Structure 1
Amino acid sequence: MLHGRLLGGLAARALEERYAQPGLHVARLTVDLFRNSPLLPVTVETTLVRDGRRIRVADAIISTDQGVIGRASAVLLREGEQPAGGQTLVTPVWDEPAPDGPPVQGEGWRPPFDLWWTTGRGTSGPGRVWVRETHPLVTDEPVTPLVRVALAADFASPLSNMGAEGRLGFINADYTLTLARLPAGELIGLEATGHLSGSGVATGQVTLHDTEGPIGFCTVTAVANAVGLGGR
């Protein structure tokens, strides 16, 4: 099947290409994954929902010739003067240095991107990883900062929903990415900062970083994925 992270990346690419402008960037991207996509050509159709002076909203439908497989919604906000004074709550810069060596490839699944686990997989407490794209999403086209973080955001589900034995018992139905700013550089850091589940339904949260500091958050909803049950 076509991995869900690619669908989110393609939606982000189309929405950014058609609606973003200098000083007007995607601050929120929600991607709904309806079902697994076969390995078929994907079409992304976009619609402008609202176009205001400071807020622009657009939707995208993701489909193959077998039907709709997902959708996305983006909120673009115009940059302006930062309000004076401080905040009562500020997300701190994390203390994970950028990786200085090659990614460690363990046995089993090998991701199609560079991945550095900075905490033990399945260990208790907040999981942390650095990721870096190694391939273009579209041939001969550079990966933009938004597309880079949209691709990385899909990893919020396994990171926040990982079981204590390193097994993933939930499969995400969506993800919502919120950004105070676009990432700088190729490295995206993710830190699991929340998980709740009950009766086979879960929600998870991660904080996103680049090498300069925190940039946003990603939340996911997920459903129990028992062995032998496939699809969404």
Structure 2
Amino acid sequence: MSSTTAFFTQKQGELVPSPHARGPWSPDMLHGRLLGGLAARALEQRHAEPGLHFARLTVDLFRNSPMLPVTVETALVRDGRRIRVADATLSTEQGVIGRASAVLLRQSEPPDGPQTLVTPAWDEPAPDGPPAEGPGWKPPFDLWRLTEWGAPGPGRAWMRERHPLVDEEAVTPFVRAALAADFASPLSNAGTDGLRFINADYTLTLARLPESDVLGIEATGHLNAAGVATGHVTLHDAAGPIGFCVVTAVANPAGLGGR
């Protein structure tokens, strides 16, 4: 990861966005992936504990947000012997823009015996060179597209964070996975003529945290009916599959407003 300008600077309890925190849809709109990253960061800083693993993160994206300072508040919902649940709320001066819920599970020895189904590693090696830049919006992260946008079949990509999320803090494996998970929507919901669905949420599930700074995302399912879609992807690191992400989305014809 580069030591260049972070997406946010922390000032008096607020997270002030940098110019490259904007998304591809409007020059005055925060990129939705960053909200999941900020929620994961706050939940990890305030509720992590050795031996407890972040197994699930659900991020609800209530509304598109202008480039305004963000605050993140968290609350411990349940703290049991093997399960901890914590929530996060993300707000700007205009109100609540999103929320998140995390489930942490106590790690232990795995049960004996083979599983009836195990997700295989995909056949895409981790990238060993710089990504190629295409036309249009330039993402503020490294992106290796393994399939062309709009091509029939499962979408595939590798990605890597280029900037810190907040100040000069290192991006942790959990935050890295939360940032990457938002890419599940364009990969699983893309049509041959572009992205015609806008995601309302995403749920990331992790068997383990990523061990490499590059993360692979492979679309593994999509369904839609009456303007409502659901899609899912498998997430990989350089060593193999690590988890899944499911998104729900609503039809968003060209020219229609946001969430």
Residue 73, structure 1, aligned to residue 136, structure 2: no
Give the Å deviation of 1:121.
2.0
Q: Secondary structure at the match of 1:152?
A: helix
| 1:158-201 Cα distance to aligned partner (Å, 9 max, x none) | 00001123x10000000000000000010010000000011111
Q: Secondary structure at the match of 1:84?
A: coil
2-structure distance, mates of 1:70, 1:119: 31
Match of 1:85 in 2: 113
2-structure distance, mates of 1:86, 1:64: 48
Gaps of 5+ in 1: none
RMSD after superposition = 0.7
Give the Å deviation of 1:24.
0.8
Equivalences for 1:1-232 in 2 at 5 Å? 1-165=29-193, 167-232=194-259
1-structure distance, mates of 2:236, 2:187: 14
Gaps of 5+ in 2: 1-28
Letter in 2 for 1:23: G
Percent identical residues: 77
TM-score w.r.t. the length of structure 1 is 0.98
TM-score w.r.t. the length of structure 2 is 0.88
Letter in 1 for 2:99: R
2-structure distance, mates of 1:84, 1:25: 20
**Structure 1 runs of 4+ off > 4 angstroms?**
none
2-structure distance, mates of 1:224, 1:20: 36
Give the Å deviation of 1:126.
1.0
2-structure distance, mates of 1:152, 1:132: 8
1-structure distance, mates of 2:101, 2:118: 27
Q: Secondary structure at the match of 1:173?
A: strand
Range with bigger deviation, 25-34 or 121-130: 121-130
| 1:122-169 Cα distance to aligned partner (Å, 9 max, x none) | 21111110000000000110000000010000000000001123x100
Q: Secondary structure at the match of 2:110?
A: coil
2-structure distance, mates of 1:168, 1:37: 20
